[in-house]
Structure 1
Amino acid sequence: MSRLKVIQIGVGGFGQSWLTILRDFNEIELVAVVDVDENNIVDAKKLLKDDSIQFFQNHLEAFEQVEADIAIIITPPQTHKRLALDALRAGLYVFMEKPITHTFEEATELYNEAKKYEKFIMISQNYRWRPEISAIKNCIQQGIIGTVEYGEWNFRRATKFGGWRDQYSEILIEDMSIHHFDLLRHILGKDATSIYSKSMKPSWSWFGGNGVASAIIKFDETLINYFGSWVTRGKETSWNGEVRLVGSKGIIELIDDVPLLTYEDGKTHELELPKMPYTDREFSIFEMVQAIKENRKPITHLEDNLKSFAIVGGALQSIKHGEEVTIVGSKSIEAIN
């Protein structure tokens, strides 16, 4: 199969770094760039320095005029549903940044509509594809510490983005925690069954909404205590966070992105990091290409990612109503007393 042709939609901010990844990835060809902001188009032209790439401010014009295989969507979540469906109608595969959409209800609507089309939608969950995460998952799945009975996940950073993120009412849960919730599903090999969550906005916060949240999440019989802050003070964690997963035969920890295994006798050693053909976002693109070549769904296809996004939806319901919320498959259900 020749190189797959890609149209990237959205090249402002985070989209600029995606341009570099796509430009340098050998198995794809970047054929067009779309952005509604002319300044972003100018910046993209300067970055790419490639006259063969076409530039548009209207994605429908790009779909009509450029032959392509994949639409890569790096835009605010409020635009994802419309752009993804337009791409499917144009006969393109779809690759999107997380979260799927702005709301869980929109994501469910997109899933139901997307089933009408032959091509798939993949969500980039790039945190999965890091050697330290793979090392932890492999250890858990091999049963080295026995059954994981409880765990702690702590995330603390002070990050100022500006733009649309500053307007979200629950910015940590809606935009950041999806990474950690998805990692929990990935590592444990289980789907969440319930969540109880609280959030708040510290007096010094620069976000319009709540930048601090905690949650108690059940994955069947495994209890996870989650805490996250995007407006922390003092020592920050990595983007992965600090993790402790405690089993019947030992504990696995992730501290400063170093995975550690401690047995019942107290002996601790670092887990060996696996060799990977690509990591992080590059692996996400690699998985997309391989899925198309092998005529299969990618690992983080839309239906699977709905199960991670359902945890976000459940957390938001729990915060709103002050109740524990039951999560069934890819649906979050408000608890009724």
Structure 2
Amino acid sequence: MKFKLAVIGCGGVGIRHIEGIAQLYRAGFEDIEIAAVCDLDRVKAEQAIAKIAVLQGTTPRVYTDYKRMIKEVDLDAVDICLPHHLHHTVAIDCLEEGLNVLIEKPLAITMRAARRIMETAEKYNKVLAVAENYRRRIEDRAVKVAVDKGLIGEPRLVIWTITHWNPYHAGWREDKFKAGGSWILDGGVHMADLDRYHLGKEPIEVYGKVTLYEPIKSGLKVTVDDTSLALIVYEGNAYSHWFWSRATPAYTIETRMIYGSKGAIAIEGPPWAYRLKSIRIQHKDYVEELSGRYIGDRLRSLMDKELEERWFPYGVTYSFATEIYDFYYACTHGVKPEVDGWEAYRDMAVIFAIYESSVLGEPVKIEDIEKLKIEEYQSEINEKLGIE
């Protein structure tokens, strides 16, 4: 019996999720069937299913109304790939219909909305997984191995800097009431997840500042920030320093450094396409550097076969495929997905701590964000969208 899945949202990310399932098919894993897809643009949905229909031998049913779809189609789960402001309503509807849910990051547009999704999943005893794919990439699995095996010693400090200039309006992502925040929410949850994953520590306190330098893009209004800075304090005397801006013309910086007691890991490029540049290990009289293929050789020698098979099932390394496989496995084997609702909730807390700290002008405790004790920034979103 195949695991029947519906994809809700056939935009760029939804297409990547469908391609992930296609890659699993090509690798010999055929236990997932896309039974239906849903998008307001029917043509877009029909185009999205062309390849997978051939691979799985059946054509998914196409809908423009997800409520009708989940009533009419026999499903085990849904994969939600929608703008942030729709996450909580669609996820809750699907959970109440008895379906397991995989949802794109961030889990929700605010912490309160995320809580409502998690409470519903727990009430109906359904699997809730969040599509956090960055940690699943080969490069980030390699960094995890390097840190866990002690190549750089005890991790101390992460420095993440992305500065560039973007003159174009990004549609719904520029609207606070649809996006919840700027790229530091949309993409920053990836970075929060990577910091927590790589450091193996939990954040305690955040001091952040956000601002908007360019409120008009392509003649259209922008209501989210375009620049943010943050200092994140982690347990065990570890720290993460963030600087992101898309309002810094003429000179681009794209780097992430992880420093430990014995060395450092250098990563370069934009977060969605960066590469592991080098690992440097400090000796008494010299610095040993691993770069190029030597990084891969060293890390492969440290990775046990069981771990490699769990991270890259059927030899598939495409992160959108492996996150869907992990969700399938959790649903069919009664285990927790690698990134469940609570894991994603903790990632979100880092981001909203930056926003709340900026509003208050002082550091905030992560615990207060998670317990909904501080919602100054989020309150107007909750009110606008009727999130109680």
User: Same fold by TM-score, threshold 0.5 exceeded?
Assistant: yes
* Contact persistence 1:136–1:259 (CA under 8 A): no
> Is the alpha carbon distance of 1:321 and 1:244 closer, same or farther for their aligned partners in structure 2, counting shifts above 3 Å?
same
* Contact persistence 1:154–1:242 (CA under 8 A): yes
Q: What amino acid maps onto 2:147 in structure 1?
A: I
**TM-score for the superposition, normalised by structure 2:** 0.78
| Deviation at residue 308 of structure 1 after TM alignment | 0.8
1:254-289 Cα deviation digits (max 9, x unpaired) = 124124211113221122265633232111112112
Identify which of structures 1 and 2 has the higher relative contact order when contacts are C-alpha pairs closer than 8 Å and 6+ apart. 2
- In structure 2, what is the equivalent of residue 32 of structure 1? 36
- In structure 2, what is the equivalent of residue 214 of structure 1? 229
Is the partner of 1:184 in helix, strand or coil? helix
1:198-237 Cα deviation digits (max 9, x unpaired) = 1122348634321111100011110111111234434556
The whole-number CA distance in structure 2 between the counterparts of 1:189 and 1:213 is 24
* Contact persistence 2:17–2:321 (CA under 8 A): no
Which residue among 192, 205, 208 is the counterpart of 1:197?
208
Larger helix share, 1 or 2: 2
Which residue among 352, 365, 372 is the counterpart of 1:313?
352
> Is the alpha carbon distance of 1:20 and 1:43 closer, same or farther for their aligned partners in structure 2, counting shifts above 3 Å?
same
| Deviation at residue 249 of structure 1 after TM alignment | 1.1
Which residue among 244, 249, 264 is the counterpart of 1:228?
244
| Deviation at residue 108 of structure 1 after TM alignment | 1.7
> Is the alpha carbon distance of 1:245 and 1:20 closer, same or farther for their aligned partners in structure 2, counting shifts above 3 Å?
closer
* Contact persistence 1:34–1:56 (CA under 8 A): yes
Which residue among 247, 254, 279 is the counterpart of 1:261?
279
* Contact persistence 2:208–2:230 (CA under 8 A): yes
- In structure 2, what is the equivalent of residue 62 of structure 1? 69
- In structure 2, what is the equivalent of residue 85 of structure 1? 92
Q: What amino acid maps onto 1:268 in structure 2?
A: E
The whole-number CA distance in structure 2 between the counterparts of 1:242 and 1:292 is 37
* Contact persistence 2:268–2:277 (CA under 8 A): yes
**TM-score for the superposition, normalised by structure 1:** 0.89
- In structure 2, what is the equivalent of residue 9 of structure 1? 8
| Deviation at residue 251 of structure 1 after TM alignment | 1.3
The whole-number CA distance in structure 2 between the counterparts of 1:244 and 1:213 is 18
| Deviation at residue 24 of structure 1 after TM alignment | 4.7
The whole-number CA distance in structure 1 between the counterparts of 2:143 and 2:216 is 33
The whole-number CA distance in structure 2 between the counterparts of 1:333 and 1:191 is 19
| Deviation at residue 334 of structure 1 after TM alignment | 4.5
The whole-number CA distance in structure 1 between the counterparts of 2:157 and 2:102 is 34
- In structure 1, what is the equivalent of residue 173 of structure 2? 165
- In structure 1, what is the equivalent of residue 382 of structure 2? none
The whole-number CA distance in structure 1 between the counterparts of 2:136 and 2:2 is 23
The whole-number CA distance in structure 1 between the counterparts of 2:71 and 2:133 is 30
- In structure 2, what is the equivalent of residue 325 of structure 1? 364
The whole-number CA distance in structure 2 between the counterparts of 1:263 and 1:47 is 46
- In structure 1, what is the equivalent of residue 123 of structure 2? 116
Identity of aligned residues (%): 25
The whole-number CA distance in structure 2 between the counterparts of 1:66 and 1:80 is 21
Is the partner of 1:193 in helix, strand or coil? strand
Tell me how many residue pairs correspond in the alignment. 328
- In structure 2, what is the equivalent of residue 135 of structure 1? 142
Structure 1 stretch displaced more, 181-190 or 152-161: 152-161
> Is the alpha carbon distance of 1:46 and 1:223 closer, same or farther for their aligned partners in structure 2, counting shifts above 3 Å?
closer
Structure 1 stretch displaced more, 88-97 or 111-120: 111-120
Which residue among 156, 175, 185 is the counterpart of 2:196?
185
* Contact persistence 1:149–1:246 (CA under 8 A): yes
* Contact persistence 1:9–1:72 (CA under 8 A): yes
* Contact persistence 1:311–1:332 (CA under 8 A): no
Is the partner of 1:164 in helix, strand or coil? helix
Structure 1 stretch displaced more, 131-140 or 261-270: 261-270
The whole-number CA distance in structure 1 between the counterparts of 2:20 and 2:367 is 36
State the superposition RMSD in angstroms.
Answer: 2.3
The whole-number CA distance in structure 1 between the counterparts of 2:251 and 2:123 is 48
Q: Does 1:250 align with 2:251?
A: no
* Contact persistence 1:88–1:94 (CA under 8 A): yes
The whole-number CA distance in structure 2 between the counterparts of 1:296 and 1:61 is 30
Q: What amino acid maps onto 1:249 in structure 2?
A: K
Q: What amino acid maps onto 1:176 in structure 2?
A: G
> Is the alpha carbon distance of 1:154 and 1:82 closer, same or farther for their aligned partners in structure 2, counting shifts above 3 Å?
same
The whole-number CA distance in structure 2 between the counterparts of 1:135 and 1:319 is 34
